[in-house]
Amino acid sequence: MDADELIRRAAAAGITIATAESCTGGMIAAALTDIPGSSAVVDRGFVTYSNAAKMQMLGVRADTLGAVGAVSEDVAAEMATGAVQHAGVTLAVSVTGIAGPGGSEHKPEGRVCFGLARAGSPAATETVEFGAIGRANVRAATRDHALHLLAQAVSKIERETGS
């Protein structure tokens, strides 16, 4: 499902969405709000590039950041959960990763952790290794994968509710 269909189907099902973005810097929210009618679905986008912003805006715990670092599934889960809680939406997607250049042996360039939270449910997470494909390509691939995760979640809600 493309972004147009995602917005149309989410609106029809009464689903609201927030984004919590680090390495994409608002690209996911921008892709959603490019679509006419998105105001019925998109509540807000949090751009939390720094650890301080993750803690202040989304409630990511300092203990989590200290233990596993910002690029981790634990932080992605806390970001997505915090976005649902702070925005009062149905769904939130989060991304935190190493767009490049750079990275390390333990956290290489192109590693992105995703979180997807639904109100009343624990967040789901996954890590995707896009590889050293360049900063712009990592960010674009991250945006596209996040939109795919949202589309899957909308489809699941439609199946559950008969929408």
Structure confidence by residue, pLDDT tens digits, 26-52:
999 999 999 999 999 999 999 999 999
Predicted TM-score (pTM) of this structure: 0.96
84: CATH? 3.90.950.20
> Which residue range(s) make up the domain with 56?
3-161
Domain total of the chain: 1
Sign of CA dihedral 27, 31, 36, 38: negative
pLDDT tens per residue across span 130-154: 999 999 999 999 999 999 999 999 9
pLDDT > 90 in the chain, percent: 94
Has residue 163 got a pLDDT over 80?
no
